[in-house]
Structure 1
Amino acid sequence: MAANRPSQTEAGDSPGPDDEARKAAIAAAKLANRLPEIRLVVLGWRWPGKSLTGNTIIGREEFRLERAAEFCVKRETEVLERQVIVVDTPGWFSTQDTPPSYKQELVRGASLCPPGPHAFLLVIPVGMFTEVDRARIEEHVSLFGEGVWKQTIVVFTWAEVLRNISIERYIRREGKELQWVLEKCKRRYFVINNCIFGEHPQVGRLLERVEKMVAEEGGYYNPEEVEKEKKPLDKNQNPAREVRELGARPKQNSALSLSKAMEVESLSSE
């Protein structure tokens, strides 16, 4: 048996011509897709995860976590020779209607990085994903028009609570509601660890994912082009109004329980 096993060199310690060509092609594609400036808008719920993701990308604490933001906040930095602009938006509630003023501010976020964002990062914390969660996402993302999905990447946070469960298994386990969201954005997703702060390869990989999407979809989201297709905000329109189960609920005894507690505290103080 051992006689038929290839040596370490034959098995791939020394890459062959095909491996070298493949690596060269990948490097060339990344170089061709590279953008000098990347504009991002972060979307999600009103509790830690969304703003934390913005801080992770920026590499420093720029977006406040103590209280849910009511207004968009724009910050800029340089990452791997790219100028990166991040707009953090007001988050939506899990079980309450989002005020029309919050929705208007949410939509305004796309105009804060002209001529338009390259990507919307839809932040979803790992946990129990329900029909309410899907409805909330559809309700708020649709404010930007149907075309926004072409520029959207799902960013999973708090994946550390899965321990030995892969993100692929988690997605399958959560069923059709989460599958619906991923299908809308052509199954583009990224897992970010917000416990790792500062310089880290994950931010570079996320930016490469954005550049790849821009190359595939062509360009960026233009707020002016979709203005005509958007419907006026209706404070009485909410597909999840009558549903009473909690949305985006963290798993019991997980780190997300603290985040949910912070959201409740924030709501009670308003």
Structure 2
Amino acid sequence: MECQCENYNSENAASAGWLGGNSVQMGAFTVVGYLLYRFSQTLPALIRWPIRLFCSLTGLSALWGWVSRLVGTLRGIQSLFKWLSRIWRFIVGFSSRFKWVAAVIRAIAGSDSTSSSSQKPGLRLILLGPTGGGRTSLANTLLGNSETRTPIGPLMESTKRRTAMDGRDLTVIDTPDLLGTSMGSDRRASEALRSLQLASPGPHAFLLVIRAPDSSEGTDQDATQAIQAVLELFGEGAVEYIIPVLTHADRLGRKNTVDELLKVDAGRLRRAVSLCGQKPELVDNRPELPSEAQGVTWRQLVGHVTEVMELRGHFVHELQRREDRIREELLADMASALARKLGHM
């Protein structure tokens, strides 16, 4: 018979007296009572009853009953977690044997997620070149069937156009005659900075559009001089982002590749290649070109620009870097002023 069967009133009185003590006494009695009670379970019955009587008189048996219920609850929770873990192991084992079902479900219902995850990073291009090189025609070729094609006629200011093809957004900045003499120095400078602003945070490439050598009855356009003019406008750091684009490929006859043009070159095209480090692209930019051929030109140029982007990122002008530094310093000064103001409040 357990010690709880002793006189109920005396036990309650002892419990009340024990619980009314301070926290140190309560902790000490709890430890002692627990140890005695557990120790009594291993003793013979003749020796066990005095210990049980002590527990009853001091009220520790009531506390032990509460502790026993708490331990039972915790053991029940532990059993529940073990049961749930067995169910989880069964589900994992079952699903590992039928992975092909999940693959079929993803193949049937995952077309939308696949298309969204295959979205390629956008590209930003600035088109430059002397008048007559086919700069605006190339912009229209890059824009394809987009409704934002560059309007026909001389361009008076930098314009921004966008299109999407093959899962990639393309931003094309067409510029006026920045490399020629038709504009004053102030206007050229402002339009150059405007083109950078339109291509913010920076272009991935400058497409330098000039006529291919021997493609016209007029004077050939010097790619080296054009590159030097670009560097005067945008700084020496732009040289790594310049891609020469040779237009009017339909007028070259048998010299219809870049390698063949370099073979017969007198040296100007080779100097341009060595200066910017990029092999030129030869394109046919006729407006009446079939859409399939325009798509080939689009992929040809976009592929080259993508290589530059993966290698160097986007171009940042020195003035932009200076502006960022000034902005950071201004924000730091404002933060310090605000901190001082809050400190005096």
- What TM-score comes out, normalization by structure 1 length? 0.63
Q: Indicate the percent of aligned positions where both proteins have the same amino acid.
A: 26
Letter in 1 for 2:239: W
The aligned residue for residue 315 of structure 2 is: 221
Q: 1:92 to 1:164 in 2, by over 3 A?
A: same
The aligned residue for residue 270 of structure 2 is: 179
Q: 1:202 to 1:97 in 2, by over 3 A?
A: closer
Superposed displacement of residue 193, structure 1: 1.5
CA contact (8 A) 1:35 1:211 kept: no
Aligned length: 192
Among 133, 140, 149, the residue aligned to 1:62: 149
Distance across 2 between alignment mates of 1:191 and 1:131: 15
- C-alpha distance after superposition, 1:20-77 (max 9, x if no partner): xxxxxxxxxxxxxx9420100000012350011111001047223422x120010001
1:120 is paired with a residue whose SS is: strand
Letter in 1 for 2:170: V
CA RMSD, aligned part only?
2.6
1:169 is the counterpart of 2:260: yes
1:135 is the counterpart of 2:232: no
1:202 is the counterpart of 2:292: no
Q: 1:171 to 1:124 in 2, by over 3 A?
A: farther
* Structure 1 outlier segments of 4+, above 4 Å: 128-133, 224-228
Runs (5+) with no aligned partner, structure 2: 1-118, 323-345
1:174 is paired with a residue whose SS is: coil
Q: More deviation in 81-90 or 99-108?
A: 99-108
Runs (5+) with no aligned partner, structure 1: 1-33, 229-270
Distance across 2 between alignment mates of 1:39 and 1:143: 18
Letter in 1 for 2:307: K
Letter in 1 for 2:165: V
Normalized per residue, which structure has more helix? 2
Q: 1:135 to 1:206 in 2, by over 3 A?
A: closer
- What TM-score comes out, normalization by structure 2 length? 0.50
Q: 1:209 to 1:56 in 2, by over 3 A?
A: same
Superposed displacement of residue 84, structure 1: 0.4
Between 1 and 2, higher relative CO (CA 8 Å, sep ≥ 6) is seen in: 1
Q: 1:136 to 1:156 in 2, by over 3 A?
A: closer
CA contact (8 A) 2:206 2:242 kept: yes
CA contact (8 A) 1:79 1:204 kept: no
Distance across 1 between alignment mates of 2:226 and 2:282: 21
Distance across 2 between alignment mates of 1:93 and 1:142: 10
Superposed displacement of residue 176, structure 1: 2.3
The aligned residue for residue 72 of structure 2 is: none
1:36 is paired with a residue whose SS is: strand
The aligned residue for residue 121 of structure 1 is: 207
Superposed displacement of residue 126, structure 1: 1.2
Letter in 2 for 1:146: E
Letter in 1 for 2:150: F
2:171 is paired with a residue whose SS is: strand
Q: 1:219 to 1:225 in 2, by over 3 A?
A: farther
The aligned residue for residue 89 of structure 1 is: 175
Among 34, 37, 43, the residue aligned to 2:128: 43
Superposed displacement of residue 102, structure 1: 2.6
CA contact (8 A) 1:116 1:220 kept: yes
- C-alpha distance after superposition, 1:163-182 (max 9, x if no partner): 11133222343322222211
